[in-house]
Structures are given as structure tokens and as C-alpha cells.
Chain A
Amino acid sequence: MNFLTKYFKAQIEKLGASILDVVGGLGRFSNFAFLCMYWMFKRPFRTKLGWEQFYFIGNKSIFIVALTAAFSGMVMTYQTYLGFTLISADGFLGPIVALALAKELGPVFTGLIIAGRCGAAMAAQIGTMKVTEQVDALEVMGISSHQYLAVPRILATTFMMPILSTIFLLVGSVGSYVVGTKVLQIDGDLYFSQLGVFMFISDIFQGLIKATVFGYLIAVIGTYQGFSVKGGADGVGKATNLAVVWGMVMVLIVDYFLTSFLVLIL
């Protein structure tokens, strides 16, 4: 009996500690996000640093986003075609693929790519600066490390995500068109004829809003993980891993809730 009591007490303590840990973590994350928001509107505005991040997150990601988009559009067309031919609905292939790319595949896939490529880089860069006291050096000089390191990355990712998502939509649609007309021999005019009937500007907006929110989340998670690094190389490795995992997971989770919300308002 005594043993059982001790065992259950230990388990409850463990559970309590885990809950405290999660709540504490959420508090620290919220505080970090708030601080970044505060410094976003404070002078000096670091435009040069911002452009560097725009270049890294935007330009340097275009190729991988376009490549993923082309093949996603192509495979999506193939799979949809196989199903639609069974019910003789080939004419809907173009609009269905375009809708999927605009509302879901574009923002989500771009989010996953950027979380893997840029979220990881942010955590690794800032984490390395943290363990080598470069972040402390900024603070000692009277420069806000949040403003100098986090804000340019957050702004650049938030603004570049909708642009990259649009590129995903365009390249994915081209990939889809090529497979649809050249491989599956669907009439080119038929391919896009139903587009105006099924697709509205609000669908494009829905994708752009999602991409913007995902961009903000990925960057805040990546930079937060960088600032949270403790220890040396091991700590940087863990932070990089967490930035990618949480960035990707949050894109998928938030996607569901955002979809539910946007369907109601758009």
C-alpha cells in the first residue's frame, strides 16, 4: 500500500512538473513574441538587415519551392485524373487542382519547405551567436538582440511566404497543365474552361492569408528556439531540430483552425 501511494504520488508530481513546464514554455514563447512585436515598431528600422533576410528567405528559396510546386502539381493532376475519369469528370481537373494549390498545397507545402530551410537556419544562426556570447555582446553595446536578430527574420518570412506561395501556385498550375495536356491528352481549352466557375478571388486570398500566418509562426518559432539555446553545439543541434519540428507541426495544426475560420468569413 505504501509502495503504491509513493508510486502514484511520484507519477502525479511528474505530471504536474510536465504541465508546469509546458505552461512555462508557452509563457516564455508568448513573452518573446510580444517583445519582438514591440521592437518591430521601434527605431532604428534595420532595413539593410531586413533586405539580407528577404534575399535569403525569398530569392534563395525560389528554386526549391518551384521544384516542389512543379512536381506536386504534376502528381496531383495524375492522381485526380485517375479518380475523375471513372466518373467522366475530366473537365473539372484544372479547377480542382488549381483550387487545391491555391487554398491548401501552396501555403502548406511552402510553409513546410520554409520551416525546414529557413526556420532551421534561424535557430542555428542565433543559437550559435548565443553560445559564443555574440548575443550578449549586442546587449552590452545597448542594442536589442530581439530587434537586431529576430525582427528582420520575422518580417522577411512573414512578407515572403505569400509571395513564395503564389509562385508555388503558378508553377504548380503549369506543372499540372503540362501533365494534363501533354501526358494525359486532355484538351487544353477544356482544362481551364471551368476555372472561372469554381475558383474565386477569395480562394486566392485564403491561401495568401494562410501563408502570411505560417510565415510569422515559422520565424517566431525559429528565432525563439535560437534565443533559447543553452550549452554548446549540442544545444544548437537540439534547437535547430525543435525549430523544424515545431515549425512544421504548427503549420499543419494552425492550417486546420485557420481553414475553419476563413471558410466562415471569406
Chain B
Amino acid sequence: METNEYAIEFSHLIKNFGEHRVLDGVDFKIHKGKITTILGFSGAGKSTLLKHILGLLHPSSGVVRVLGKDLSQLSEFSLREFRQKFGMLFQYAALFDSKTTFENIAFPLVEFTKNSYDQNMERVKELLDAVGLHERTLHRLPSELSGGMRKRVGLARALALKPEIILYDEPTTGLDPITTKMVNDLILETAVRGRERQMTSVIISHDIAATFRISDYVAFLDHGKMVEHLPVEEFKKSQHPLVRRFMEL
């Protein structure tokens, strides 16, 4: 029954790169339909954890279960197909720089659906509206967009296939305070819109203030170990020395 409650489960996850242990027995469950933020110092293993969720890395030992499926049991082909259930907003949006806004957002639709051009255009306009961008940006290249606009386009692309899990890799790093607030608002709005279909949001972040504002659950990773994982209000009161130190920085 637990698999219905949790979107992602890590059981005794260990990941070694050569002799270096990056993840050291992570036991952790991410609630379905909620926003969970994973905090931690640089080099704590946050990105490695994210890559395990996507099946881009495989555990040295332990199990990663996503939407009830043990990723290590899936074939290469099934895993690629399974990844269509994910959307991801990269740190710097990772838009294809030779493609226009329309082509970027429509990319997953062109690849994985049999939609006509008109159907794709309609869906892209719908997504542009959802992320608060005007239609005049449709035919602009990423180089002609501001940092905030690129993030919005990246988010629209991530949402194109109505993912069940959306991952944000440090979504506000390098942005000014106004754009940071805009991106955080957008994450919240997206989560609210996706709540009826139980969309789960996982955020990797360093931004404490934003984490407390938008998250339902907060986890803290240190040297490959999950040292704390609590609902946001309880996390604020955590007495774990590392968490306190991180919050006081």
C-alpha cells in the first residue's frame, strides 16, 4: 500500500565512484503529490541522488523505486520510455540553443506524440500561458530571451507531456531576487495546478527562504547520508546541529 503514498523510495542506497562513496545508505521516501526540497552543502550528493531518480545512474547497492517500479529492473528501452513520466527544469534551463521557443516546448510532443503541427501549436500556447509568457516569444531563440524567460520556457518544456514527477535542479541559482521570486511562484503555481493529478515536485536547492515558502517536506543530505527529512514546519524547528548550521548561514 505504501507505493501509493510515495512517488519515490530510496532503500539503503549506496553509490560509489571508484573508491569514493557519494551516497552512503540513503533511506528516504518522497510523498506523492507534494513538494519536497532536498537541501545540503555542495558535494553532499544531491545531484547524484537526482540522477538516481531519473535512472541516469544505477546504485552500487540498494534500491530506487519510482512510482512503484524498481529502476534497476527496467531494460534500457523501458527506462527511456519511463523517463517520459518526468519533467525536469535544469539550473540554466538547458534549452536547445538552435531551436526557437516553440520548437523547444514542442520538442517532447514531436518526439513522443503523433500530434499534428496545429495540435502542438495549441498545446505550446497553452503552456506559454501557464508559465506567464506572451505568444510573441514563440519564434524567438533562447539567446533572445532573458534568464527568467528561459526558465519559464524550460518549465513549459518540462510540463509538455504532463509529467507525474517534476524535478527542479537549483532553479533559482544565479537569478536576481525579483526573478527568483517569480520562479518560486511559478513552482508553487505549477504544483497547485498539478495537484489534482498527484504531480510530485522534487527540488534541489540551497535557498532556505524559498524552501520554507514553497515546500511541503524538506530533507537534508550531508556527505551522502540523509540526516533529516521532515514536514516543513517541523524542519524549521530541527535541532540537528548540521541543519541548524545550514539555516544560520
Interface residues of A (CB under 8 A from B): 128-129, 132-134, 136-137, 139-144
User: How many residue pairs between the two chains, A and B, have CB atoms under 8 Å in the bound complex?
Assistant: 43
Do A132 and B108 contact each other (CB < 8 Å), given the known contacts A140-B86, A142-B81, A142-B84? no
Task: Name the residue on A nearest B54 (C-beta).
Answer: A140
Q: Is the CB of B82 within 8 A of A142?
A: yes
Which B residues between 78 and 108 are near A, CB-CB below 8 angstroms?
Answer: 79-84, 86, 88, 90-92, 94-97, 107-108
B94 with A136: CB separation less than 8 A: yes
Contact status of A139 and B81, CB under 8 A, knowing A133-B90, A134-B97? no
* Residue of B with least CB distance to A143: B111
Which of A128, A132, A134, A140 contacts B83 (CB under 8 A)?
Answer: A140
Query: How many residues in B have their beta carbons less than 8 Å from beta carbons of A?
Result: 21
Within the assembled complex, what's the spacing in Å between the Cα atoms of A144 and B107?
Answer: 14
Q: Give A144 to B111 CA distance when docked, in angstroms.
A: 12
Q: Does B56 contact A (CB under 8 A)?
A: yes
Q: A132 and B56 in contact (CB under 8 A), knowing A140-B86, A141-B111? A: no
Contact between B54 and A141 (Cβ–Cβ < 8 Å)?
Answer: no
Other A-B pairs beyond A133-B92, A141-B84, A142-B80, 19, CB < 8 Å? A129-B96, A129-B97, A132-B92, A133-B91, A133-B94, A134-B95, A134-B97, A136-B90, A137-B88, A137-B94, A140-B56, A140-B86, A141-B83, A141-B107, A142-B82, A142-B84, A143-B80, A143-B111, A144-B80
| CB of A202 to closest CB in B, whole Å | 43
User: Among residues 193 to 245 in chain B, which have CB atoms less than 8 Å away from a CB atom of chain A?
Assistant: none
- In the assembled complex, the Cα of A111 lies from the Cα of B173 at a distance in Å of 44
CB atoms of B83 and A142 under 8 A apart: yes
A143 partner residues in chain B, CB cutoff 8 A: 80, 111
Please determine whether B80 and A134 come into contact, CB atoms closer than 8 angstroms: no
- Chain A residues with CB under 8 A of B84: 141-142
Please indicate the chain A residues that have their CB under 8 angstroms from the CB of B54 in the complex: 140
- Chain B residues whose C-beta falls within 8 Å of the C-beta of A139 in the assembled complex: 56, 83
- A132 pairs with B80, CB closer than 8 A: no
Please give, as numbers and ranges, the residues of chain B lying within 8 Å of A133 by CB-CB distance: 90-92, 94
Q: How far is the CB of A188 from chain B (nearest CB, A)?
A: 50
Tell me how far the C-beta of A85 lies from the nearest C-beta in chain B, rounded to whole angstroms: 55
- Bound together, the chains give a CA A127 to CA B117 distance in angstroms of 31
**Residues A132 and B94 in contact, CB atoms below 8 Å apart:** yes
Chain A, Cβ-Cβ closest to B86: A140
The reply to whether A134 and B94 form a contact with Cβ atoms under 8 Å apart is: yes
Complex CA gap A128/B95 in Å reads 12
- Shortest CB-to-CB span from B78 to chain A, Å, is 10
Is A137 a contact of B90 with CB atoms below 8 Å? yes
- Write the chain A residue with the least CB distance to B96: A134
Chain A contacts of B97 at CB under 8 A?
A: 128-129, 132, 134
